[in-house]
């Protein structure tokens, strides 16, 4: 068995389901975990920091990295590229950490192909109505983009049974704790 697998947790869930908040809580609760910082061509939101939340790249730079085989996986999501850099995983696992990837469903499936024993978790919102409420409340996308993300959310929910576990996000702390418990029980 590849020892990298057991030190990878892949978390997916529709936009607005609270993935980033839950993962942030996990990292605060347990210092074994570290985030894989993805590269993206999406525009940076005002609260985001380059190199911390994402590595923000131009399309040209992203495509250059694709051609140099720097990505473990990448995808086009709502007209922007997102990808996991191999270096993010390898360096962090080699440093003894458990790497958490917060990525969409296609990326999760591709990571599972390379690392079949990694742990995959689908974070489900309590309902689609609640998801829409959260997306609108966070005020980071305009109406057209929210509609596009809700359409995508419906599509993504159809993939939840392909994950090792489905966890419903009703409460951030409980949800983070459930993921840590699942990880420990699987180890
Ligand atoms: P957002 O624009 O809301 O930050 O992210 C949009 C979607 O892209 C989310 O579902 C997020 O999890 C996903 N995503 C972020 N980074 C990656 C990545 O490296 N690879 C893939 N496949 N999806 C990603």
Tens-place pLDDT, residues 102-146: 999 999 999 999 999 999 999 999 888 989 998 899 888 899 999
Interacting residues of 110 by C-beta distance below 8 A, sequence separation 6+ = 72, 73, 75
The CB of 38 under 6 Å from ligand 1? The reply is yes
The CB of 107 under 6 Å from ligand 1? The reply is yes
- Structural element, H or E, at residue 99: strand 98-102
| C-alpha of residue 109 to centroid of ligand 1, in Å | 13
| C-alpha of residue 100 to centroid of ligand 1, in Å | 13
Does residue 1 surpass a pLDDT of 50? no
The CB of 84 under 6 Å from ligand 1? The reply is yes
Q: What is the DSSP letter of 105?
A: H
- Cα–Cα distance between 146 and 129 in angstroms, integer? 13
- Cα–Cα distance between 176 and 22 in angstroms, integer? 5
pLDDT tens for 8-36 read 999 999 988 899 999 999 999 999 999 99
126: which 2 tokens? 């309590």
> Whole-prediction pTM value?
0.94
Ligand 1: which of 70, 79, 83, 103 to mutate, judged by most atoms within 8 Å of the beta carbon?
103
pLDDT of residue 171: 94
């Amino acid at each position: 068995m590849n020892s990298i697998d057991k030190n990878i947790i892949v978390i997916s869930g529709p936009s607005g389901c609270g993935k980033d908040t839950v993962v942030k809580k996990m990292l605060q609760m347990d210092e074994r975990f570290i985030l894989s910082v993805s590269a993206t061509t999406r525009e940076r939101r005002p609260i985001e920091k380059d190199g911390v939340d994402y590595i923000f790249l131009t399309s040209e730079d992203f495509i250059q990295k694709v051609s140099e085989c720097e990505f473990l996986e990448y995808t086009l999501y709502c007209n922007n590229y997102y990808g996991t850099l191999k270096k993010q995983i390898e360096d962090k696992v080699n440093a003894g950490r458990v790497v958490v990837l917060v990525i969409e469903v296609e990326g999760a499936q591709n990571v599972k192909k390379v690392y079949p024993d990694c742990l995959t978790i689908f974070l489900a919102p309590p309902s689609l109505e609640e998801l829409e409420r959260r997306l609108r409340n966070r005020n980071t996308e305009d109406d057209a983009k929210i509609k596009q993300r809700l359409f995508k959310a419906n599509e993504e929910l159809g993939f939840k049974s392909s994950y090792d576990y489905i966890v419903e996000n009703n409460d951030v702390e409980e949800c983070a704790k459930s993921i840590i418990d699942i990880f420990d029980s699987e180890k």
